A and B are shown apart, each in its own frame.
Chain A
Amino acid sequence: MEEFLQHVINGVSLGSIYALIALGYTMVYGILQLINFAHSDVYMVGAFVGFYAARFLNIADSPSYTSFFTILLIAMAGCALLGFSIERFAYRPLRNAPRLNVLITAIGVSLFLEYTGQVVFGATPQLFPNILEDSIIFSFGGARVTKMDATILVTAVGLMIVLRHIIQNTLLGKAMRATSFNRHWASLMGISVDRIISMTFIIGSALAGAGAVLVGMKYPKIEPLMGVMIGLKAFVAAVLGGIGNIPGAVLGGLVIGIAEEFVVGYISSTYRDALAFSILIVILLFRPAGLLGRFSVEKV
Chain B
Amino acid sequence: MLEYTITLVFSTSADMNKMTSPLLTIQNIRVQYGCIDALKGISLDVFQGEIISLIGANGAGKSTTLRTVSGLHTPISGDILFQGHSIVHTQADQITRLGLIHAPEGRGIFLNLTVLENLEIGAYARRSSRREIFQDYEYIFSLFPRLKERRKQEAGTLSGGEQQMLSIGRALMGKPRVLLLDEPSLGLAPQVVNTIFSVIQKVNKEGTTVLLVEQNAYQALKISQRGYVLETGEIVLTGKSSELLTNKKIQEAYLGC
Specify which chain B residues have a CB less than 8 angstroms from the CB of A299 in the assembled complex.
111, 156, 158, 160, 163
Distance (whole angstroms) from the CB of A193 to the closest CB of chain B? 7
Select the stretch in A35-43, A72-80, A144-152, A169-177 that faces chain B: A169-177
Pair B110/A190 contact, Cβ less than 8 Å: no
Pair B124/A185 contact, Cβ less than 8 Å: no
Residue of A nearest to B96 (CB): A190
Residue of B nearest to A169 (CB): B117
Task: Assess whether A97 is interfacial by the CB under 8 Å rule.
Answer: no
A residues 129-180 with Cβ under 8 Å of B? 171, 174-175, 177-178, 180
Residue of B nearest to A193 (CB): B93
Pair B108/A185 contact, Cβ less than 8 Å: yes
Size bracket, chain A contacts: 20 to 34
* From B101, B110, B163, residue with most partner A Cβ within 10 Å: B110
Distance (whole angstroms) from the CB of B99 to the closest CB of chain A? 10
**If the complex has contacts A174-B120, A189-B124, A191-B121, are A184 and B111 also in contact, measured as CB distance less than 8 A?**
no
Task: Assess whether A120 is interfacial by the CB under 8 Å rule.
Answer: no
Task: Assess whether A267 is interfacial by the CB under 8 Å rule.
Answer: no
* Whole-angstrom CA separation of A177 from B114 in the bound complex: 11
Contact indicator per residue, chain B 76-111, by CB within 8 Å of chain A (1) or not (0): 000000000000000111001100011010001011
Pair B113/A177 contact, Cβ less than 8 Å: yes
Distance (whole angstroms) from the CB of A209 to the closest CB of chain B? 28
* Whole-angstrom CA separation of A174 from B116 in the bound complex: 11
Pair A300/B93 contact, Cβ less than 8 Å: no
Task: Assess whether A181 is interfacial by the CB under 8 Å rule.
Answer: yes
Pair B125/A190 contact, Cβ less than 8 Å: yes
Task: Assess whether A101 is interfacial by the CB under 8 Å rule.
Answer: no
Task: Assess whether A64 is interfacial by the CB under 8 Å rule.
Answer: no
Size bracket, chain B contacts: 20 to 34
What does DSSP make chain A's interface, helix, strand, loop or mixed? helix
Residue of B nearest to A296 (CB): B111
Pair B110/A178 contact, Cβ less than 8 Å: yes
Distance (whole angstroms) from the CB of A290 to the closest CB of chain B? 16
Residue of B nearest to A179 (CB): B110
Point out the residue from B93, B111, B120 that lies within 8 Å of A187, measured CB to CB.
B93
**If the complex has contacts A190-B124, A300-B160, are A185 and B110 also in contact, measured as CB distance less than 8 A?**
yes
Residue of A nearest to B122 (CB): A189
Specify which chain B residues have a CB less than 8 angstroms from the CB of A185 in the assembled complex.
104, 108, 110
Task: Assess whether B23 is interfacial by the CB under 8 Å rule.
Answer: no
Contact indicator per residue, chain B 168-184, by CB within 8 Å of chain A (1) or not (0): 00100010000000000
Pair B121/A187 contact, Cβ less than 8 Å: no
Specify which chain A residues have a CB less than 8 angstroms from the CB of B96 in the assembled complex.
187-190
Task: Assess whether B71 is interfacial by the CB under 8 Å rule.
Answer: yes
Distance (whole angstroms) from the CB of A131 to the closest CB of chain B? 40
Task: Assess whether A124 is interfacial by the CB under 8 Å rule.
Answer: no
Specify which chain A residues have a CB less than 8 angstroms from the CB of B72 in the assembled complex.
184, 187-188
Specify which chain A residues have a CB less than 8 angstroms from the CB of B125 in the assembled complex.
189-191
Task: Assess whether B187 is interfacial by the CB under 8 Å rule.
Answer: yes
* From A182, A185, A300, residue with most partner B Cβ within 10 Å: A185
Interface set of A (CB-CB < 8 Å, partner B): 171, 174-175, 177-178, 180-182, 184-193, 298-300
Which 3 pairs, one residue from A and one from B, show the smallest C-beta to C-beta distance?
A190-B125, A190-B96, A187-B92
A-B contacts, 21 of them at CB < 8 A, read A174-B120, A177-B110, A178-B110, A181-B113, A182-B108, A182-B110, A187-B71, A187-B72, A187-B91, A188-B72, A188-B104, A189-B121, A189-B122, A189-B124, A189-B174, A190-B97, A191-B93, A191-B124, A298-B111, A299-B156, A300-B160
